[in-house]
Structure 1
């Protein structure tokens, strides 16, 4: 009977401790629900991008972080002592650091939403915006990496067996030794190339490039590679070093405006002025033309044909391509309809006396 009361007392302490833990977590969850309910009510009354982004990105991290934060404050109220309290404290601190780092990562997404809302990448003249977004994407990835790195180091410092590792990672000497140790690796050279690309910007997000004979737009720039979206929906993946070490064409480096060429090959009898006037009529009625350049010139005279070059301008490469196709189609139709005799032809002169099948002249 004497042993029964100590067991009952231990059970009471266990139930009390579990109650404190569960009550703390429940209280934190209720605080989170209340805070986000108030924020949602404010957003419904006065729509705000900041409130919308916080509700979208920080709801899940807060559902873990706030209850664990409340538990860390109320943990001393439990009857845990000695080793049990130390183990519980370290577990709570580890969970708190992990959820806090998760919240910081999602906060970076909130900042990205605010910047993207303020600057529109879909505008026609978006050179400045593409510069900013290229830097923003790289800085975002770098910030997330640093958050995870520091959080991991702080978690390691909670444990005596690996505290030296955590401390070393947070010191400049430790970071320098890690960088030096991997500097010879190709991945680190790509990372350094990423810094160079992000701030010198030979390429930017949504730039139009011609690489390895492929035409496409820059879809993504990561720490180690660039994804190029080809015109036919394929993806070309290239290492960052490629854009530092090899030549490539960037059609939107300073402006998206572009000149497009259309070559026509006709007979020497073509009336060039009539075709030039038709070119003017075609481009003036086409909304793809930006009204900068419209020129037709005879750029070559070959053995059997004349080479006519039509030079037209558009606000970007996609419009220039479509405009070229329209000009080519309509000018070919114009020549077929009005000057069919001026289509390319091959002439052969045959002397009559050289024909064995010709009948002999009559003696009458």
Structure 2
């Protein structure tokens, strides 16, 4: 009977204690969240309940599994202890990642609630994302190293390899030169404020928005919903257009080729009426002027402003479409025309006519002059 009650006591006690501690911690975090609504930290920490319970349950079993005195446990004591240690290390890494994520997200949320500048928010968001990725990578590396150190054979192999670590590091550095370059470029982009998540950029002739930034690549979402994945080293070694740097507001132009008789003052008034009805126009500025002329047409430029790249595209399209429709309906003579004239008849046998002279005296052969 004792052989049955002892294992049940160990397992049942571990389960009850784990559930009780998890419930108590969750209750404390819930009360702290209710008392401090200005910060989401306590609410985010409640997501750590599951990994915390796994850590507690594994730790309790790791310390008490020998008390069960089961024959199967006594015969496999080393393997069971090793397995529980591996689970404990993995659960501990999971818990640390959740805690770091809660702290980082809480910090960003508090900063976002007190800052109204979209450019700063995008910059901090990019930095927070990369910091979270770096912290996760460090925790995973440390956890894997701790797991390997629990195996005596691997620990001895690792100790013997320390002597050649310098040579291995040099070889690895040469082999992973491009990867390391992208890694350092990722740090430069994150903390050098070159490009941020949400920025509107033009790279290799493609217009898009930065959708994701990692330590090795950036994902650009184009206007037609395509995704272009580019190494971060591209943005540190080649020029590119960042339309969001210094502010998201933009100025756009619309060029029209019209006849010289186009009513420019009336077009200027019509442009203003179009913009007053255009929701994409931000009201900052507008203008219309003749910027160039050719023997057959003149170039009219309309300037409009908008709050971001999407709205400037919409405003330009609306101005171009409605101005042309207005000219076609009310001033069709202003549209460009191609002037043509009837061709002269070619004389028989392809001979050109002799020049006509009004007076024989002016003829080069018979004339007297």
- TM-score for the superposition, normalised by structure 1: 0.81
Q: 1:188-203 to 2 correspondence within 5 Å?
A: 188-203=180-195
Q: 1:81-92 to 2 correspondence within 5 Å?
A: 87-92=79-84
Considering only CA atoms, is the larger Rg found in Structure 1 or Structure 2?
2
CA distance in 1, matches of 2:342, 2:63: 107
Moved more, 191-200 or 181-190: 181-190
3-state SS of 2:284 partner? strand
Corresponding residue number in structure 2 for 1:3: none
CA distance in 1, matches of 2:116, 2:41: 26
CA 1:71–1:178 in structure 2 vs 1: closer, same or farther (change >3 Å)? Answer: farther
List gaps (5 residues or longer) in structure 2: 347-369
3-state SS of 2:282 partner? strand
Contact 1:216 1:231 in 2 (8 A): yes
CA distance in 2, matches of 1:83, 1:148: 32
1:237 matched to 2:229: yes
CA deviation digits over 1:126-157, x for unaligned, max 9?
11111111111111100000001111112222
CA 1:181–1:263 in structure 2 vs 1: closer, same or farther (change >3 Å)? Answer: same
CA distance in 1, matches of 2:106, 2:308: 27
1:67 matched to 2:47: no
Moved more, 78-87 or 284-293: 78-87
CA distance in 1, matches of 2:85, 2:160: 20
Moved more, 87-96 or 324-333: 87-96
1:52 aligned to which of 30, 43, 49: 43
Offset of 1:344 from its aligned partner? 1.3
CA deviation digits over 1:155-199, x for unaligned, max 9?
222232222566799x9x96x777544322122221111111111
- TM-score for the superposition, normalised by structure 2: 0.80
2:23 aligned to which of 26, 33, 36: 33
1:286 aligned to which of 278, 281, 284: 278
Q: 1:152-231 to 2 correspondence within 5 Å?
A: 152-164=144-156, 180-184=170-174, 185=176, 186-231=178-223
Moved more, 268-277 or 184-193: 184-193
3-state SS of 1:58 partner? helix
Q: 1:251-270 to 2 correspondence within 5 Å?
A: 251-270=243-262
Offset of 1:285 from its aligned partner? 3.6
1:149 matched to 2:114: no
